[in-house]
Amino acid sequence: MNKSKLKKLIDKRHRLIPGAAHTYSKGDDQFPANAPKVIIKGAGAYVWDENGKKYLDWCMGLRSVSLGHCYKKVNDAVSRQMKEGTNFGRPHAIEFELADYLIKVLPATQMVKFAKNGSTVTTAAIKLARAHTGRKYIAFCKDHPFFSYDDWFIGTTACDSGVPEEIRKLTLCFRYNDISTLEKLFNDYRNKIACVIMEAATSEPPRDNFLKSVQNLCHANRAVFILDEMITGFRWGLGGAQKYFGIKPDLSTYGKGIANGYSLAVLAGRRDIMELGGIIQKKSPKVFLISTTHGAETISLAAGMATIEEMKNKRVTDHFWKMGKLLQNGLQKLIAKRGIENHVKVFGFPPNLSMGFFDKKGESSALIRTVFLQEIVSRNILFQGYFAVSFSHKRKEISDTLKVFDQALSKLAVAISDDKLEKELIGPTVKGVFQKYN
């Protein structure tokens, strides 16, 4: 595309697409003013913006690109599949091939169903749980940021516009590492809760056997235990966080990282629950489970097969842990060196690290975050607060990152101690995605 056409499109982007992006977390309000407006291409751990500027990428397609941009083995599998066709009037053989493969790879999985997005599979898990139990309430972990853009979840956030009150009332919440909050829900809504949905761990590790207690509580109350492995699956190990923590959910949901950025999400779990969406069982009414035109488009399935095989053969998840650990140790040392441990923190497990920014009172600070992100972007790193380490992030990328972060932390430390954060701002502060008004 020529430069003047590109500039015109960028200028009118908010008139073309609401939010000028297809995920709110990619939006202009999520990045500092000096961030690229668009990405033109990617290769390995790098991306290029509208001006041809190259960035080391830590966003990696919202964590979906786990091997690297334009990874050859995956793209070769995709182009082989392209030559055989993308979509047909009956299932393609690759649907069964990938399903069979995943059932062998994923723990606690007797059946799978494919989709294009994570939201589709978490919502499908909720629907199955309601059908299986004949109950309508859902309990989700309030400390975990996102499960779906569908009404059952988004209606619980500040962005509840368009969601009827009746739907919102059916979703209840409990707190991570506080089993009493879930016990209370099961007591207050006795025999009314269909399922519990949560991630295994985000920034905080589970304490006091929390995950096993959730699992036991679900079973004692005959509720379905759904583990959302969108971020942890295919990252903490091929068995995800459930294998790491030794838990056995009834249903699991996967999305990011399965197909190196191609669009593939998976609902996985117990046969007796999954089969409700089948056409063989006769005992229960059929659940109209995921049924979409593009659900099993062959290109993404081929990408999924190739990605998982590469992950297995090259022990890619070990690489995530190793690189993540280097990053975690390096960052903690840098933060301590600048004496700003109260303002900047590194959270999470090595394959899924993130950074938090806090003011003097210990409250999350958009101002500090923005000043820091500005500094990072100006030094050619695309970073939004989390590290989506991929197989293309090697020692060089880690050491380049630590050098840049050292410079940015040094500048931030001075701005904090001189009380000059506001002066450093070159545009509006970044926002959270759940804003009632823009």
Ligand X SMILES: Cc1ncc(COP(=O)(O)O)c(C=O)c1O
Q: Tell me which residues touch ligand X (CB under 6 A).
A: 117-119, 122, 146-148, 199, 228, 230-231, 255, 265
Phi-psi category of 44—alpha, beta or left, where left has phi over 0 and alpha has psi -120 to 50? left
Minimum separation from the CB atom of position 150 to ligand X (A): 9
**Cβ distance to ligand X smaller for residue 269 or 330:** 269
Question: Taking the complex as a whole, how short is the minimal distance between the CB of residue 293 and ligand X, in angstroms?
Answer: 17
Residues listed for the chain? 438
Measured from the CB atom, the residue of 230 and 340 that comes closer to ligand X is 230
* Residue placing its CB nearer to ligand X in the complex, 33 or 433: 433
CB of 24 to ligand X, least distance (A): 10
| Residue 220 CB contacts under 8 Å (≥ 6 apart), including other chains | none
In the complex with ligand X, the residue whose CB is nearer, 28 or 199, is 199
What are the beta bridge partners of residue 112? 268
Q: At its nearest, how many Å lie between ligand X and the CB of residue 129?
A: 16
- CB nearer to ligand X: give 317 or 374: 317
Cβ 319 to ligand X shortest distance, Å? 21
CB of 388 to ligand X, least distance (A): 11
Least distance from ligand X to the Cβ atom of residue 389, Å: 16
Q: Which is nearer to ligand X, 235 or 319 (CB)?
A: 235
Question: Using H for helix, E for strand and C for coil, what is the string for the chain?
Answer: CCHHHHHHHHHCHHHHCHHHCCCHHHCHHHCCCCCCCCEEEEEECEEEECCCCEEEECCHHHHCCCCCECCHHHHHHHHHHHCCCCCCCCCCHHHHHHHHHHHHHCCCCCEEEEECCHHHHHHHHHHHHHHHHCCCEEEEECCCCCCCCCHHHHCCCCCCCCCCHHHHCCEEEECCCCHHHHHHHHHHCCCCEEEEEECCCCCCCCCCCHHHHHHHHHHHCCCEEEEECCCCCCCCCCCHHHHHHCCCCCEEEEECECCCCCCCEEEEECHHHHHHHCCCCCCCCCCCCCCCCCCCCHHHHHHHHHHHHHHHHCCHHHHHHHHHHHHHHHHHHHHHHHCCCCCEEEECCHHHEEEEEECCCCCECHHHHHHHHHHHHHCCEECCCEECCCCCCCHHHHHHHHHHHHHHHHHHHHHHHCCCHHHHCCCCCCCCCCCCCC
CA 385 – CA 40 distance, rounded (Å) = 22
CB atoms < 10 A from the CB of 91, how many? 11
Q: Closest-CB residue for ligand X?
A: 118
Minimum distance from CB of 364 to ligand X (Å)? 18
Q: How far is the CB of 231 from ligand X (least distance, A)?
A: 5
Shortest CB 146 distance to ligand X, Å: 5
Q: In terms of CB distance, is 117 or 407 closer to ligand X?
A: 117
Q: Considering beta carbons, is residue 265 or 377 the nearer one to ligand X?
A: 265
Nearest residue (CB) to ligand X, 177 versus 263: 263
Q: Nearer Cβ to ligand X, position 62 or 371?
A: 62
